[in-house]
Structure 1
Amino acid sequence: MSAGASGRTLAQVRPSARQLAWQEMEFYGFIHFGMNTMTDREWGEGHDDPALFDPADLDADQWVRALKSAGMTGVILTCKHHDGFCLWPSDATDYSVASSPWRGGRGDIVAEVADAARRHGLKFGVYLSPWDRTEASYGSGTGYDDFYIAQLTELLTRYGPVFSVWLDGANGEGPNGKRQVYDWERYYAVVRELQPDAVINVCGPDVRWCGNEAGDTRPDEWSVVPRSLQDAERTASRSQQADDGTFARLVRSDERDLGSRAALAGHESDLVWYPAEVNTSIRPGWFHHTAEDTEVRPVDELFTIYRRAVGGNSCFLLNVPPARDGRLHDADVAALTALGQRIEDFRSRRIEATAAVTSGTPGDVATAWPGRARTPWRPEAADARPALTLEFTGTRTVEAVVLGEDITQGQRIEHVVVRGRHNGEWTTLAEANAVGHQRILVFPPTEADTIVFEVTQARDTPVLARAAAIGAAS
């Protein structure tokens, strides 16, 4: 297995500390809540009377408990959507909860969600739409940028540590009929100064949008991609352009390969670590609509999306919208609880095994999942076909395997074959190209007493941080 000079160049692209911390989170929640919730809209037009905003029973702890029950590690709140209504008392505008009857005009939903997240051990993130359909300075250039920076600064200085600043690409006209050219670099600089540990998602340099809002994942997701994919305007041009439900289920067939060696040919001198986030909503819409209370995604579908996302070198962001009264609907809560149970059941079926390797030492790779090894396995550079074997105490029925690289050393594996042995005969169970942080491969339940992972192609000597076999459900 010869990596070649180009392969070693690709393997030298590494994640930042903030990207590593984000990748380990794997699964976190989106909360879309605001004036749209009160008006039964997806995209509010702005200028709705603040008197309409009065959730009678808002309970941020209920939101966070429900997300945590699903196994989530963080929550991102839509602090301001495109309509411009702010869920905190912003000094930059009167169009906020401070002008509403909720909590007598003295409430702060951002504070309540941030505090609830801390109480329940979840990280907190913010969504601040660059598009504002109420603010008169939108479309004025620097004047609106000043306004946006003022609001961004409030969110990043008043509510404690923030793990994510989620920047939407929506860019429509303001009340004056003008379109704003966002000063993305200025926005990024403020985040770096005020919350240096936060990743900037989607229209940002740290975390890449997977390209759809349907929860779909690519067959192979690569974290090392051309720098041109960080162009925020490019992402914005591909984001939702109209207030309808079609976009939320749209999956494009283009750009299925962003980072194979063939796709990167000619870009070797201008590459970045830019991992993917898979996002979708638990319902057809992003905001709560009573008419969709019977359309909450079933747990089987949610678990499949989860498994493909966190098992496809991505993180999974699942939106769960509270209702007009300020509470999550029972159907959403039940689905989240069931999803958490499915995830725990899947993890609990890891088969105990003894590890052996073709060269080097296996470290604690075979016992690290969920998690990553303190001592990863690195075969010798001269090992032409490095392989890791998991041997069981007897014959077991296996239906999935988990494999993960130590991405502090880059993304190196380009092809891996998984085989199982039963009665002395070997059968190919699965194979994949990209691995990255974590790859979960599922196959029909198969009896085996041994599983072997053989790396047949890599960009440099592979370094593995996790390997596991998952038994079939009883």
Structure 2
Amino acid sequence: MTSNAITTDDPRLTAVRPSPRQVAWQAMEFYSFIHFGMNSMTDREWGLGHEDPALFDPSSLDVDQWMQSFAAAGMTGVILTAKHHDGFCLWPSRVTTHTVAASPWLDGRGDLLRLVADSAAQHGLKLGIYLSPWDRTESSYGSGTAYDDFFVAQLEEVLGEYGPVFSVWFDGANGEGANGRVQEYDWDRYYATIRRLQPDAVISVCGPDVRWCGNEAGHTRANEWSVVPAILRDIEQIADKSQQVDDGEFSREVRSDDDDLGSRSALEGQLDELIWYPAEVNTSIRPGWFYHGEEDDRVRTDTELFELWCDAVGGNATLLLNVPPNERGLLADPDVEALQGVGRLIAEFAARVLPADPTVSSGGIESDDGRPEPLRPELTQAFGRGLTDASWRPAEHDQTPSIVLELRSTAAVDAVVLRERITLGQRLERVTVLGIRNGQEVLLAETQAVGYQRILRFEPTDVDAVRVQVDAARGRPALQSVAVVGGAAMH
């Protein structure tokens, strides 16, 4: 019988690689959820279904205001709730009358999905779509194939007529319909439809490409792994942990079950069934997902959002931040101010990357095909979205590979940003960051998982150089970049 134990260089650990669509999605880093629709008009979180379309009439709708605010925050895309559980469609669907076409908004000639798609493109943002399979209005819901036909027809409309889509987002909600029955979703058929119409789109959360981080409070694991057991794609497990009640508290709950998903011990016995299944952190800027006026004084501050960004985008995940427009169709002032503020904080953090001269213990820059290349400036930089086509790879015999970044002058530093070349898998398992001052070393930070990006923050420390040492890895490391961030003034 073949042993399933993990060896130091077990090729099964590094053989799992992301798809091109997963790589493109990961590089987006930070994007917006837009919960808007019938619930915005009725002041609810979950609609009951069969709401009168006449209720949908946003008096001052301005999607350009939304996009300008998202762009100011440093976001790269938007995901619109084209249809929530109540079944009301924000586009004029041809398979139901429960749509904006039956509303007084723009005399029934409006198409909010079209407006969002066009405005997003104009502001350099990618489009994503949330389409709830649970439909509390549609009479065929719970009937089996007839409803699957209906839902696939809606997928074909929203994915075939509004341009490129980067994400199709399912949350697993699966309650009763108007007839008291529950639909058994034909996920395989839904996925096949998405792949046919939008092959570059990731299918998120209840899907094969992107997994939920496990809560809706923005909590991130200490070590987030992208290589995990295939069982984590079990959609029933995800659905069971999704929101079950209409309240304003779920988005702030933190649960830490299954905190270790990808360490060697967590993978023991499952090495033949590993998948690349990276995490997305989704949370709301407010306690609820839809806008409620009484929550205007409970909007997360720009500082809170920056902490979320550091933990999520700096913790090998992406950050999906919900920002709901009000019943008039505008983002409220507190939300806009918070978005502008976090955009400034992110830009200021990136601007504090210090120039440095790298020296490596062995090896050098290699392209994915193994060709050696000279050291590149990108090795000591970060925050350039996307991935370069090369990485630093130490020699096979180097037992403790390290890279030293010599600063141009002594400076206070308070963060180091690491990036792996994830097209070669997730390899780094333990990394130590040391500060060097007058020849003496001091521990600044340490971590296990790195992945696409890891932001390690620590108290401001005066150093001449920083050494990043790889203490454990799965095969040869592939470090795309390491950047040192300047901190408070020297003392």
Q: Decide: shared fold, TM above 0.5.
A: yes
**Structure 1 pair 388/5, CA: closer, same or farther in 2 (3 Å)?**
closer
Distance 1:473 1:205 in 2: 43
Structure 2 counterpart of 1:386: 401
| Cα distance in 1 between the residues matched to 2:340 and 2:234 | 38
State the partner residue of 1:65. 68
Following TM superposition, by how much is the alpha carbon of 1:361 offset from its aligned partner in structure 2, in angstroms?
2.1
Partner of 2:77: 74
Counterpart for residue 337 of structure 2: 334
What does residue 321 of structure 1 align with? Answer: 324
CA deviation map 1:80-103 (0-9, x unaligned)? 001000000001110010000001
Contact 2:413 2:488 in 1 (8 A): no
Q: Work out whether residues 59 and 327 of structure 1, in 8 Å CA contact, stay in contact via their aligned partners in 2.
A: yes
Change (3 A) 1:248 1:9: same
Secondary structure of 1:177's match?
coil
Q: 1:116, CA displacement in angstroms?
A: 0.3
State how far apart, in whole Å, the 2-side matches of 1:311 and 1:57 are: 37
Pairing partner for 2:443 from 418, 422, 428: 428
**Offset at residue 180 of structure 1 (A):** 0.9
> Equivalent residue for 1:217?
220
Task: Output aligned runs, 1:187-336, within 5 Å.
Answer: 187-336=190-339
1:445 shift after superposition: 0.6
What is the CA distance between 1:246 and its match in structure 2? 2.4
Which residue matches 2:364? 361
> CA RMSD for the aligned pairs?
1.1
Are 1:11 and 1:409, in contact at CA under 8 Å, matched by a contact in 2? yes
- Separation in structure 2 between the aligned mates of residue 222 and residue 158 of structure 1, nearest angstrom: 36
Counterpart selection for 1:451 from 435, 448, 466: 466
For structure 2, the 5+ residue unaligned runs are 1-5, 366-374
Query: Partner of 1:414 in structure 2?
Result: 429
Are positions 1:460 and 2:475 aligned together?
yes
Q: Deviation digits for residues 3-40 of structure 1, max 9, x if unmatched?
A: 93663211110000000000110000000000000000
Counterpart code for 2:345: R
Does structure 2 retain, via aligned residues, the 8 Å contact 1:373–1:466?
Answer: no
CA contact (8 A) 1:368 1:465 kept: no
CA distance in 1, matches of 2:257, 2:242: 15
Separation of aligned partners in 2, 1:313 and 1:353:
24
Q: Counterparts of 1:424 and 1:400 in 2: how far apart (Å)?
A: 20
Task: Choose from 441, 444, 452 the match for 1:437.
Answer: 452
Measure the CA separation in 2 of the matches of 1:459 and 1:442.
Answer: 24
Q: State, as a whole percentage, how many aligned pairs show the same letter.
A: 60
> Separation in 2 of the partners of 1:301 and 1:88?
34
The answer (yes or no) to whether the contact 2:358–2:380 under 8 Å persists in 1 is: no
Letter in 1 for 2:240: S
| Equivalent of residue 370 in structure 1, options 383, 387, 392 | 383
1:149-188 pair list within 5 angstroms: 149-188=152-191
Residue deviations 1:128-179 (CA, integer Å, cap 9, x gap)? 0111111111111111111111111100011000000001111111111111
Amino acid at match of 1:349: R
Instruction: After superposition, give the CA deviation of every residue in 1:226-282 in whole Å (9 maximum; x if it has no partner).
Output: 111112122111111111122211111210000001100111001100000001001
Alignment partners' CA distance in 1, 2:389 and 2:187 = 38
Moved more, 80-89 or 230-239: 230-239
Deviations, residues 188-239 of structure 1 (Å, cap 9, x unaligned): 0000000000000000000000000000100000000111111212211111
| 1-structure distance, mates of 2:411, 2:289 | 42
* Secondary structure of the structure 2 residue equivalent to 1:243: coil
Which secondary structure state, in structure 1, belongs to the residue aligned with residue 353 of structure 2?
A: coil
Secondary structure in structure 1 of the residue aligned to 2:272:
coil
Give the TM-score, by structure 2 length.
0.95
Question: Residue by residue, what CA displacement relative to the aligned partner does 1:424-453 show, whole Å, maximum 9, x if unpaired?
Answer: 210011000000000000001111111011
- Cα separation, 2, equivalents of 1:457 and 1:412: 9
Q: How many residues align?
A: 472
Contact preservation (8 Å) 1:6, 1:268: no
The CA distance in 2 between the partners of 1:473 and 1:25, in whole Å, is 29
CA contact (8 A) 2:211 2:278 kept: yes
Matches within 5 A, 1:120-139: 120-139=123-142
Partner of residue 24, structure 1: 27
The counterpart of 1:53, out of the listed 52, 56, 59, is 56
CA distance in 1, matches of 2:88, 2:209: 27
Q: Tell me the secondary structure at the aligned position of residue 161 of structure 1.
A: coil
Cα deviation 1:83-127 (Å, max 9, x = unaligned): 000000001110010000001000000000000010011100100
DSSP 3-state at the match of 1:71: coil
Q: Which consecutive residues of structure 1, in runs of 5 or more, have no partner in the other structure?
A: none
Query: Please, which of 96, 99, 103 is the counterpart of residue 99 of structure 2?
Result: 96
- Whether the 8 Å contact between 1:353 and 1:393 is mirrored in structure 2 is yes
- Kept in 2: contact 1:44–1:82 (CA 8 A): yes
Partners in 1 of 2:340 and 2:92 — Cα distance? 33
Q: Secondary structure at the match of 1:187?
A: helix
- Tell me the SS of whatever aligns to 1:377: strand
- The 8 Å contact of residues 164 and 199 in structure 1, kept in 2 or not, is answered as yes
In the TM superposition, residue 370 of structure 1 has moved relative to its aligned partner by 1.6
TM-score normalised over the length of structure 1? 0.98
Contact 2:316 2:452 in 1 (8 A): yes
CA distance in 1, matches of 2:235, 2:411: 49
Deviations along 1:290-336, whole A, 9 cap, x unmatched?
11111110111110000100000000000000011111111111110
Contact map agreement 2:380 2:484 (CA 8 A) in 1? no
- Among 137, 143, 146, the alignment partner of 1:143 is 146
C-alpha separation in 2, matches of 1:156 and 1:402: 36
